[in-house]
Amino acid sequence: MISYISTQSLSSAMRQSILQMQSQLASAENELSTGNYADIGQTLGAQAGENISLQNQISYLQTLTNTNNIVSTRLSTTQNALASLQANAQSLLNSLIENNGVTSNANAIQATGVSDLQNLISTLNTSVNGDYIFGGTNTGQQPITDYYGTPAPNKSAVDNAFLAAFGMTQTSAGVSTISGASMQSFLDNQFAPLFQGTNWMADWSSASNQTLTNQISETETVSTSVSANNAAFQNLAQAYTMLADLGTQNLSSSAYQAVSSTAQGLLTSAISSLTNLQTNVGVVQSSISSATNQMSLQMNVLSTQVNNLESVNPYEVSTQISDLQTQIEISYSLTAQLQQLSLVKYL
């Protein structure tokens, strides 16, 4: 039996070999530039599942870390807001204590009450990235109704209660005739309930009592917000409103004394509650920071494992590239020589 080998078949086989080596060369050059295998699944084989699992863990931890960063910003803003409210409350309390119920400074106290009430409303309506941080789980709606806005059901409730109790408005000159006992009874029985329970929810707040919770690590979930329905804010609103809008500057000495002493008690309670809230927020901030640091360490370990699986040996790849380039050059040379072969030259 006689076998025939043509120059055409040899040339065709050589060209096919060159194409394969060029593909291998492109793959090797890509591996050298990226530092990773060109086809990780094919290279790792059975270990590909382990690699995917590690990457999923990294992705999950990174998602938690990103969420923690967002929550940390919200809590930092919350902490600053609480500190500001506490400072304002303490300043007003100091003024009331210094004045000791003397009416000579009532105009200044009334003006401060207005300013502090406006600041309280503005602060509780603070938003971060479009979310109201004191709205509880109801982050999409401004939590506190503006007392000086239109409409203002909270102010209407105060006006109606005052009119029902004394038969006059707060701006009436007749408020100077209100006795201390009558004012104290009004503050305790008609005024205080306006800042509590269903009245607070109906006229002042659209926030939910339930606060936000976030998973901050693989195993830990914490409360990450403060609701505008907290008693501290209700006490502040009550104290500021009575000083700002009960005819403070025109009250009799005894009636003003009743307002001043009641406001002092509310401010003292609010300041204590604000301190507790700041402490609680600080604990959560610390927990988030610790969880984030721990996850960062975990991701570093996992990334190292992934890198060990996916990374190529640059020295081996460089050698492979050099060998392929040499083989391709030889193949081109042989192909050229085959193309020069012809029977005509030997006839």
CATH of the domain at 292: 1.20.1330.10
- The answer to whether 143 and 120 have CB atoms below 8 angstroms apart is no
What pTM was computed for the model?
Answer: 0.79
Instruction: Determine the pLDDT at residue 54.
Output: 85
Determine, yes or no, domain membership for 246.
yes
Please give the residue range of the domain that contains residue 204: 66-301
Q: Tens of pLDDT along the chain (347 residues)?
A: 555 555 555 556 656 666 666 665 566 656 555 666 555 555 555 556 776 788 899 999 999 999 999 999 999 999 999 999 999 999 999 999 998 888 889 999 999 999 999 999 999 999 999 999 999 999 999 999 999 999 899 999 999 999 999 999 999 999 999 999 999 999 999 999 999 999 999 999 999 999 999 999 999 999 999 999 999 999 999 999 999 999 999 999 999 999 999 999 999 999 999 999 999 999 999 999 999 999 999 999 988 877 666 555 565 666 666 666 676 666 656 666 655 555 445 45
Cα–Cα distances (Å) from 214 to 23, 124, 133, 289, in that order, read: 50, 21, 14, 14
Determine, yes or no, domain membership for 3.
no
Q: 195: Cβ–Cβ under 8 A, 6 or more apart, which residues?
A: 204, 234, 235, 237, 238, 241
Pairing type for strands 221-223 and 127-128 reads unpaired
Determine, yes or no, domain membership for 104.
yes
Determine, yes or no, domain membership for 228.
yes
From the centroid of its chain, how far is CA 339? 71
Determine, yes or no, domain membership for 38.
no
Determine, yes or no, domain membership for 140.
yes
What total number of domains does the chain contain?
Answer: 1
Instruction: Determine the pLDDT at residue 34.
Output: 63
What is the Rg, in whole angstroms, of the alpha carbon atoms belonging to the chain? Answer: 39
Determine, yes or no, domain membership for 50.
no
Determine, yes or no, domain membership for 41.
no
